[in-house]
Amino acid sequence: MGIDLNLVGAKGAIAEEAEGKWGMVIDQDLCTGCQACVAACAMENNLSFVGEEDAGYGRTQHWIRIERFWEGAYPEVKATAFQPMLCQQCGHAPCEPVCPVFATPHSPAQEINLQVYNRCVGTRYCANNCPYQVRSFNWRDYHLEPFHANNVDGQLVYPLHNQFNPDVTVRRRGVMEKCTFCIQRIHQAEDKAKSEGREVHDGEFTTACAQACPANAITFGRMDDHESLVSQLAHQDRGIKHLEELNTLPRITYLKEG
């Protein structure tokens, strides 16, 4: 059996197929930078509002963010396309081998990069080693911060706790977190499909960011199914992968200026 040297990782293990199971395509020509995906992701995944002080330290929690870049020098600057950046669910994730407690393993079943909150001890090595800078750390128990609470007769009442998604863990202090490709929705769809005795079909479910995108710039689906919409979009000529030269095998394809 021949070994494709492009797929041999730093630890000598042969990485899984470059395509992976789940994939995403982001069309930067369609993206208007409206941040709807950012808001939808925060609602779906119980992301914390960190407050003014911690935001000043750069501790904001976003699993997806919109990056803006400029070309040229003032006054001839030209804004380039908005670039939504989220966890690329690398096939060769740089965050995985640096975790001393194996809290960010690669899921063999879903072929994405997991974060196991109850195993994480908060060394933050993974965030330091992530070339996409998409991991965020819980510096406090943000959901219990008093600035979320109403003071009702001396009792702190947290109205925002009522909108927590019960399918997603509320992260506590001292753990790292990142985009999960909405694994709770993957499980829900797989469970439903299994109870009806069929496979999950393309477009049956999507991630929160893709669902919220008004310009349909984000597409999510099975990459190993070559009939699926996301697979066909990803194989267009204008597809690029970010920091591909690091051999991280990102699962997200960006479409830009074909």
- The residues binding other proteins (CB under 8 A) are 105, 107-110, 112, 114, 116-119, 167-170, 180, 183-184, 187, 191, 194-195
> What is the 3-class SS of the chain, one letter each residue?
CCCCHHHECCCCCECCCCCCCEEEEEECCCCCCCCHHHHHHHHHCCCCCCHHHHHHCCCCCCCEEEECCEECCCCCCEECCCEEEECCCCCCCCCCCCCCCCCCCECCCCCCECCCCCCCCCCCHHHHHCCCCCCEECCCCHHHCHHHCEEECCEEECHHHHHCCCCCCCCCCCCEECCCCCHHHHHHHHHHHHHCCCCCCCCCCCCHHHHHCCCCCEEEEECCCCCCHHHHHHCCCCEECCCHHHCCCCCEEEECCC
Min CB(257)–other proteins separation in Å: 35
Min CB(134)–other proteins separation in Å: 17
Min CB(235)–other proteins separation in Å: 27
Q: Which is nearer to other proteins, 117 or 139 (CB)?
A: 117
Q: Which is nearer to other proteins, 7 or 116 (CB)?
A: 116
DSSP β-bridge partners for residue 67: 83
Min CB(136)–other proteins separation in Å: 16
> Hey, what's the torsion of the CAs at 238, 241, 244, 248, to 10 degrees?
-150
Min CB(5)–other proteins separation in Å: 26
Q: Which is nearer to other proteins, 186 or 230 (CB)?
A: 186
Q: Which is nearer to other proteins, 28 or 46 (CB)?
A: 46
Q: Which is nearer to other proteins, 192 or 235 (CB)?
A: 192
Q: Which is nearer to other proteins, 105 or 239 (CB)?
A: 105
Min CB(107)–other proteins separation in Å: 4
